[in-house]
Amino acid sequence: MQLSGRGVICVRGGRHVFSGLDFEAGAGEAVAVVGRNGSGKTSLLRLIAGLLIPAGGTIALDGGDAELTLPEQCHYLGHRDALKPALSVAENLAFWADFLGGERLDAGESLATVGLDHAAHLPAAFLSAGQRRRLSLARLLTVRRPLWLLDEPTSALDVAGQDMFSGLMREHLARGGLIIAATHAPLGIDSRELRIGGMG
């Protein structure tokens, strides 16, 4: 499986964020997208996720499921965590598992992995920022997707949480998955660096 971008141009609000960007990632490989604030790290992830339309260039995933589009094979973990405060932790996770579909794991097991099994019946409104992030990670575990797009994944996680997450990423890569992560902090795994928007 191979994700590749050729000459990708991103224009936001009439401003060229980046242009002529080439990148590549193979199965089992992690790419850390680095650059200063506003250099287009989040935009790049959203371009791959199909949430932005590139102004030029192509992004393609070779060797994936031919029946599915690229966004359908991605997990996108953004700044906003797609959780409903009125629903409990278990209900939030069960909804995304049912809605996203495909191959999946037991939701209770993923909650235990991210350390939220004791809070399964708590409304998401009462979760801390770190717990919300852990619940978002449980979505990545419950529903299997080959490509993970992570935007500042370790923000709000404590040290133990970051270790737990590094372990999860290693497992994902060992299964032949891909990770593209926009980050300022080290990911804690072996990764290739993709610098955009010059030095910063």
Partner 1 sequence: MSALSALIRRDIRIALRVGGGALIGVLFFLTVVVLMPFAVGPDLALLSRLGPAILWLGALLASLLTLDRLFMADHEDGSLDLITMSRTPLELACAAKALAHWLAAGLPLIVATPVLGLLLNLDMVATGAVALTLLAGTPALTFTGMIGAALAVTLHRGGLLMAVLVLPLSIPVLIFGVAASQAVIVGPMTFGAPFSILCALSLVSLVVGPFAAAASLKHGLD
Which residues contact partner 1 (rule: CB under 8 A)?
A: 49-53, 68, 71-72, 74, 76, 78-84, 86-87, 91, 95-96, 98-102
Min CB(187)–partner 1 separation in Å: 22
Min CB(195)–partner 1 separation in Å: 25
Q: Which is nearer to partner 1, 101 or 186 (CB)?
A: 101
Q: Which of 95, 96, 161 is nearest to 134 (CA)?
A: 161
Q: Which is nearer to partner 1, 78 or 191 (CB)?
A: 78
Q: Which is nearer to partner 1, 68 or 189 (CB)?
A: 68
Min CB(82)–partner 1 separation in Å: 4
- 36 Cβ neighbours under 8 A, 6+ residues apart: 197, 198, 200
Q: Which of 150, 139, 196 is nearest to 173 (CA)?
A: 150
d(CA 111, CA 105): 11
Burial (CB count <10 Å: 0-12, 13-18, 19+), residue 128: exposed
Task: Please report, as a single letter, which amino acid is at residue 2.
Answer: Q
Min CB(34)–partner 1 separation in Å: 23
Q: Which is nearer to partner 1, 143 or 191 (CB)?
A: 143
